[in-house]
Amino acid sequence: MKDININIKVNKTKIDEEVFEKFDYQFDGTSNFTHNFHFRTPQDFNIGVIYGSSGSGKSTLLKSFGNQKKIDWDNTKSVLSHFKSSDEAINKLSAVGFNSIPSWGKPRNVLSTGEGFRVDMARQLEDNTVIDEFTSVVNRETAKSCSLSLNKYIRKNKIKNFVLATCHDDILEWLQPDWIYNTDLAKMERRSLWQRPEVLVELLPCSYEVWSLFSKHHYLTSNLNKASRCWLGIWNDKPVGFVSAISFPQPMLKEKCWREHRIVVLPDYQGIGIGSRISEAIGENFRKENCRYYTKTVHPQIGSYRNLSLKWRGTTFNGQIRNYNSKSSKSI
């Protein structure tokens, strides 16, 4: 890419004249700056990022890759209804960590800021997309989880030339872009310089009462069996997930059997694999106690993870449609 010269013109006012005269600065209303790329971007890449401080020319530079798509929402319809098919809706909403199934049926205008950010992103998951001010309107937990989810989806589906502009550097290690152009330093960096951070979740036994922090986020019910064993997931000193299990007697088996009763990951932390891993960790703990552990889910992401994992084994009804839901049943 060649040098990009940026010229910005404003209408000079009396205040401009008075202030700049005090500092002996000659100002005619024009600001000029040039961005010089020292690295040519590949013709076909997955993710590129233009990073820098506010006012450093990110948005202008982004326009050299194309114009941002305008997302129109019909607030008489659910967010699901804005996709081409049910499969596309599920895959793309899951790809941005928007996994609150009841919220899939809501119109865009009633969603929270974080939820709205995620569904807007879901509708832009295609080739040659440019997005300005990426993650500027959401908290940093949502920003990181969405960045990791995007990275996985874009690479898995071989989406090309997806360019983002941001002033936040905390997402870069999660997003893992192929290249990063720093507008403050006029410097290009390659993807190999970045390492994906680990997500280390501590699971602690907890009381029944902890469920109150998570109950409203379970998509089917807020009820919890008081006889269940419960665990709280902690990441960076914050509660992020909850999992519980109840006794599940099987007369034909000598082993004691348990099954997963409830599992919830808070919305800000969805999309980075916490649910699948805390479920698996509890299953492994029961196996160490010489128990058999069962679980079932209708969530496509968790179901796909378990189908590929060597630690889970499908039951007779795994993947079959039963009653009103297609359930993925697994034991460990």
pLDDT tens digits, residue range 114-134?
Answer: 899 999 999 999 999 999 999
Under a CB-based contact definition with an 8 Å cutoff, are residues 217 and 198 in contact? no
- Interatomic CA distance for residues 151 and 157, integer angstroms: 10
Q: What is the model's pLDDT at position 326?
A: 44
Q: What is the model's pLDDT at position 324?
A: 44
- Interatomic CA distance for residues 155 and 45, integer angstroms: 10
Q: How far is CA 137 from CA 117, 142, 205, 285, 324, in A?
A: 8, 10, 35, 39, 38
Q: What residues in the chain have per-residue pLDDT under 70?
A: 1-6, 33-40, 191-195, 300, 319-332
The model's pLDDT over 36-71, given as tens digits with 9 standing for 90+, comes to 655 567 778 999 999 998 878 888 888 889 999 999
Q: What is the model's pLDDT at position 102?
A: 82
- Angle at the Cα of 166 (from 164 to 170), degrees rounded to 5? 110
Q: Are strands 162-166 and 47-51 parallel, antiparallel or unpaired?
A: parallel
How many other CB atoms are there within 10 angstroms of residue 19's CB atom? 12
Q: What is the model's pLDDT at position 11?
A: 92
